[in-house]
Copies of this chain bind each other. A is one copy, B any other.
Amino acid sequence: MKIAIIGATGFGGAELIRLLHSHSKVEAIDVFTSSEVGELYSNKYPSMIQIYDQPLLEINYSKLTQYDVIFASTPAGVTSTLFEPLMNKDVVLIDLSGDYRLKNLEDYENWYSKKSAKQQYVDKAVYGLTEWAKENVKGSTFISNPGCYPTAALLSTIPLYKEDLVIPGTCIIDAKSGVTGSGNSLVKSSHFCEANENISIYKMNKHQHIPEIEQGLKMFAGAEDTITFSTHLVPMMRGILSTTYINVKEGTTEDMIQRAFEEAYKDAPFVRLIEEAGMFGTNRVRGTNYCDIHWDLDERTNRLTVVAAIDNLVKGAAGQAIQNMNVLFGYDEMDGLDQIPLYM
């Protein structure tokens, strides 16, 4: 299996290489870029010296179509331009950007403030929240990989909506992310002396992951809902903790909630239902594709609190992309992803 990665110099690209390095079916990985052609990848990521020393290659479509899979880890607004010539070629495309996620192009343009991809290609892309999209992923050649926040938010709420246990209009998601979520570009909010020893909030009520979460609830649980979602920056590198507050319907019991989650994820190797809050935290999934979920129902308010923890660069990006590749090609779902988390 030969893999191409476009936009490989970002954190998402580096994670793809790190994880694909352990994949039993991968024979070759090549990296493509629109700048810095010829530079060794290990010059940018010296952690890979002697492990992955290949040069950055120029984007060349006749060459790209010779790969089995092309991952795009380019920014939103860029992938749709780069991918267009590859549509309908005999190559599997997996996009980690937001360009093909929102099926409603108006939503894309409103929330991203960018020109959307073409409707036909957006329609073609399978939204790859693997645990819920497995059947569609299998038959597809074009995957739009979910956003980091939506992955955590959706995995921890879809079962509740699907089983009709919760009250629409009451869903509030308070998300917290590590700094890798902002990528490796040099911006003030990622300066060590700004990010360290600080927690802040950003994009209040404006985050482009809001319509993606709402679309996911509809897509996988048939639920039309309008949510509140906010995002905080936490002084750590990896990890998203998503805390959801939602009112349960009258008659919803703890058993019903537990069964909804257990049923939903009984065949999902990467979703773990964690019984005690003390055993839950983003460090428990670091470096891996796991999504840990824990919940507590407050009898005083009839409100349910659900927390989900993922590694934003793995289950929230590169790991889920590989999981989708595995499902699409019929490989073992855990191939390349069967690591024990780097807890400490």
Contact = CB atoms under 8 A, between A and B. Distances in A.
Contacts of A278: 189, 202
A197 B239 contact: yes
Contacts of A193: 11, 179-180, 184, 190, 237, 344
Contact of A236 (B198, B230, B245, B292): B198
A146 interface: no
Given A47-B283, A204-B277, 4 more contacts: A22-B338, A196-B236, A228-B305, A234-B235
Q: Which 8 A-B pairs have the closest CB atoms?
A: A200-B281, A46-B279, A198-B283, A47-B343, A186-B186, A204-B296, A47-B341, A205-B298
Contacts of A341: 47-48
A287 B19 CA distance: 13
B197 A272 contact: no
A199 B49 contact: no
12 contacts: A18-B339, A46-B279, A172-B245, A184-B193, A197-B282, A200-B283, A201-B243, A201-B307, A202-B278, A232-B243, A286-B342, A287-B287
Interface in A281-296: 281-287, 292, 294, 296
A278 B300 CA distance: 35
A343 to B, nearest CB: 4
A192 B301 contact: no
A50 interface: yes
Nearest to A227: B301
Interface of A: 11, 14, 17-18, 21-22, 43, 45-52, 169, 172, 174, 176, 178-180, 184, 186-205, 226-228, 230, 232, 234-239, 241, 243, 245, 272, 274, 277-287, 292, 294, 296, 298, 300-301, 303, 305, 307, 313, 338-344
Contacts of A195: 192
Contacts of A234: 176, 199, 234-235
Given A46-B279, A187-B186, A339-B21, A243 B272 contact: no
Nearest to A186: B186
Contacts of A18: 339-340, 342
A232 B176 contact: yes
A15 to B, nearest CB: 9
Contact of A343 (B45, B274, B292): B45
Contacts of A190: 191-193
Nearest to A49: B272
